[in-house]
Amino acid sequence: MLFRDRAHAGRLLADRLAFYAGDPSLLVLALPRGGVPVAFEIASSLGAPLDVFNVRKLGLPDQPELALGAIAPGGVRVLNEDVIQTLAVPPEVLDEITAGQTAKLEQLEQVYRGDRPPADVRDRTVILVDDGLATGSTMRAAVEAIRLQAPRRIVVAVPVGSANTCAELTGTADEVMCAQTPEPFCAVGLWYSDFTQTTDEEVRALLERARENIVRA
């Protein structure tokens, strides 16, 4: 199935998650930037608060889209060992990349959250949302970081993903909702008519709209 855009994908995914509506412990966390428009539709449909959960991919300087792993708040680092070994990436290079992305992670916290503290996930049902799953390294890092904060349940929800990656995540999250797992998968963007990059301004605007929706409710 081809999604028109991230909002369309979010509305369709929200239908799959409708049984979570009414759960007072529910919290929707989006992986920015692309996961935010998807998560906004889910949070709006389920009547749940929305926040971001910043995760940074660890990519080579000359191949930033090639995921060596990912980092998340709390010092969590998830590595794709097979890729690292295949490319023979030295530990000192990996540490340098990690340090650079850690600095960017801290910057993003300020950009998206400002003075607001992170959402408290303890004893809550957390739905972690992205616009798709390829290698899954960023989502695995997010799940591991959230798990350290003692949530009641972690649900990974994406409109489209690699079948293998979605299956692997079932061993990490409590539930994995991959609406579509096409084969061959190739790349997330192929399954969207409009996969225009989400901007920081759009992220902030959607987070503000989500907060206003909760206040009005």
Architecture of domain 6-55+118-216: 3-Layer(aba) Sandwich (3.40)
Burial code (b: 16+ CB inside 10 Å, e: under 16) for 192-211 equals beebeebeeebbbebbeebe
Give the pLDDT confidence score for residue 129 in this predicted structure: 98
Is residue 190 over pLDDT 70? yes
Model confidence pLDDT, tens digit, residues 44-56? 999 999 999 998 8
Is residue 9 over pLDDT 80? yes
d(C-alpha 177, C-alpha 17), whole Å: 8
4: confidence class by pLDDT, cuts 50, 70, 90:
very high
Q: What is the mean pLDDT of residues 159-164?
A: 96
Strand blocks (E) in 56-166: 56-60, 63-72, 76-79, 125-129, 153-160
Domain locations in the chain as residue ranges: 6-55+118-216, 57-112
Is residue 85 over pLDDT 80? yes
